[in-house]
Amino acid sequence: MEKKLIYLPLLLLLLLFGCKGTPQAEPGHAEVSAETYEDPAYEAEPETEKPAETARPLSKYEYNWSGSDDMPDLVIIIDDFGNSAGQLLDDFADLPREIVFAVLPDLPHSKTAANLAARKGHEVIIHIPMEAENSSISPGVKFISKNMDEDRIKDVLDDFIAQMPMAVAANNHMGSATTANLSTMNKVIRHLGKNGLYFIDSATTGQSAVYTAAQEQGVFSAKRDIFLDVPDNSDGTLAAKIQSLGKFKGRREPIIIITHCHNREKLDALNKFIVQIESMGMRIVSLRDAFPRTGV
């Protein structure tokens, strides 16, 4: 009986600390790595009265490369515009004009975001909702499924293009199932090419067929290298992403970085990142300057 009385408090303590020590996944978000990431549709966070945080350099960290190295240019794409307007959107639009806006169609502020971005000099690309593998979350009101027939693909893409006639290219929102299907991606890229658009693979799967489809269709394509805000926006994560840029030393093609517009914390983190990489001698360029052979 005495042994049972001793073991009972110990058991309760183990259960208590065991629960605290197990992180819970955010609802609707799968675990992600730095290589593949599918961000489902989000709900915009309400604006607060808090002013934007002043960008703070990440110079306190040590990096294994510098501006004296043979570093390529950077392309920065911000995904998921369309759910919110107001001050947060205005502040994103005040970023350097070389930064690209990827706008989701069919959302309450899709046209507002695309028009504001274009007015401020940003290139706009269509953030095409696509089917994700083993996901119960819908990518959007309309999306390209992995086995969609060609006529339906044309109808969906024509609708998206009509919503954003200023778009110069497209990339995928989610889409690990669709982008892995060569037949479907041939249809998508062929129709984009006929409309003067090329495709940037967000690389949400290691089995992507985008490059092969683009080669077969004679349409230019590029691929995302880094997700800036995965797994979070902390200084430590930003410093790790900056450190990882060193592996691209000597590459001729620009480094393509994707981040997201969901809240002010992501904007503040992007500002910090920009300040630091520019202080190290790197240059942010537009898609037009990065890929002049596209003719866009």
pLDDT per residue over 184-199, tens digit each? 999 999 999 999 999 9
- With a cut of 70, say whether residue 87 has pLDDT above it: yes
Question: What is the rounded distance in angstroms from the CA atom of residue 65 to the CA atom of residue 69?
Answer: 6
* Closest alpha carbon to 112 in 129, 88, 96: 88
- Amino acid residing at 114: A
Asked if 59 contacts 276 with a C-beta cutoff of 8 angstroms, the reply is yes
In the structure, what pLDDT confidence band is assigned to residue 60 with cuts at 50, 70 and 90? confident
Rounded to the nearest integer, the mean pLDDT of the chain is 85
Answer whether residue 92 is part of any domain. Answer: yes
Q: What is the extent of the structural domain holding 160?
A: 64-133+140-294
Question: What is the rounded distance in angstroms from the CA atom of residue 229 to the CA atom of residue 31?
Answer: 14
Answer whether residue 215 is part of any domain. Answer: yes
The pLDDT value recorded for residue 207 is 97
Interacting residues of 174 by C-beta distance below 8 A, sequence separation 6+:
38, 39, 40, 129, 130, 131, 132, 135, 137, 139, 204
Distances (CA, A) of 190 to 179, 187, 202: 14, 5, 18
Interacting residues of 19 by C-beta distance below 8 A, sequence separation 6+:
none
Report the number of distinct structural domains present in the chain: 1
In the structure, what pLDDT confidence band is assigned to residue 102 with cuts at 50, 70 and 90? very high
- What is the arithmetic mean of pLDDT over 12-31? 32
Answer whether residue 44 is part of any domain. Answer: no
Answer whether residue 90 is part of any domain. Answer: yes
Helix (H, G, I), strand (E, B) or coil at 221: strand
- What is the arithmetic mean of pLDDT over 152-173? 98
Specify the CATH number for the domain of residue 74.
Answer: 3.20.20.370
- pTM summary value: 0.83
Answer whether residue 284 is part of any domain. Answer: yes
The pLDDT value recorded for residue 88 is 97
211-261, pLDDT tens digit by residue?
999 999 999 999 999 999 999 999 999 999 999 999 999 999 999 999 999
The pLDDT value recorded for residue 52 is 46
Distances (CA, A) of 233 to 163, 194, 248: 31, 38, 22
Question: What is the rounded distance in angstroms from the CA atom of residue 24 to the CA atom of residue 120?
Answer: 40
Answer whether residue 178 is part of any domain. Answer: yes
- What is the arithmetic mean of pLDDT over 172-176? 97
Answer whether residue 154 is part of any domain. Answer: yes
- With a cut of 60, say whether residue 50 has pLDDT above it: no
Helix (H, G, I), strand (E, B) or coil at 196: coil
In the structure, what pLDDT confidence band is assigned to residue 295 with cuts at 50, 70 and 90? low
Asked if 190 contacts 219 with a C-beta cutoff of 8 angstroms, the reply is yes
